[in-house]
């Protein structure tokens, strides 16, 4: 590859990466909207913020998807753990807020 083509190719690849990053952000936003609704349902029904069985199923499923997609399953698991930690934090906050509203209403 000539040096003259490298900047054009690099620019094209970076543009592709930027588009993928934008799509990831939009997907994460949609995912968190759905998990916020889950958190509200859990709070309404007095369910725990964390569901270890569901989390284990998700780890297994995403590790399998990662393997099928030629993505490092360890990376996929770490990424999911980060997301789940954040979701649980949100669910706890939602439950605490709901509990505070119940106390205020009494």
The CATH number of residue 28's host domain is: 1.20.59.10
In tens, the pLDDT along 8-59 reads: 999 999 999 999 999 999 999 999 999 999 999 999 999 999 999 999 999 9
Domain total of the chain: 1
pLDDT value of residue 70:
98
Contact predicate 43/98, CB 8 Å: yes
Token digits of residue 42: 């859990």
pLDDT value of residue 100:
80
The yes-or-no verdict on residue 73 having pLDDT over 60 is yes
**Whole-number Cα distances in Å, 19 to 13, 14, 30, 47, 70:** 10, 9, 17, 38, 20
Q: How far apart are CA 94 and CA 32, in angstroms?
A: 13
Domain boundaries, position 48: 5-105
The yes-or-no verdict on residue 2 having pLDDT over 60 is no
Place of tokens 């789940």: 84
The yes-or-no verdict on residue 103 having pLDDT over 80 is no
For the question of whether the overall pTM of this predicted structure is more than 0.85, the answer is no
């Amino acid at each position: 590859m000539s040096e003259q083509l490298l900047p054009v190719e690099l620019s094209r690849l970076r543009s592709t990466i930027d588009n993928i990053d934008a799509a990831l952000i939009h997907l994460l936003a949609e995912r968190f909207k759905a998990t916020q609704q889950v958190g509200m349902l859990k709070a309404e029904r007095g369910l725990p913020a964390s569901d270890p069985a569901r989390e284990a199923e998700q780890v297994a499923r995403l590790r399998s998807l990662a393997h099928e997609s030629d993505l490092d399953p360890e990376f996929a698991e770490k990424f999911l753990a980060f997301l789940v930690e954040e979701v649980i934090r949100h669910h706890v906050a939602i439950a605490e807020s709901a509990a505070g509203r119940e106390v205020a209403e009494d």
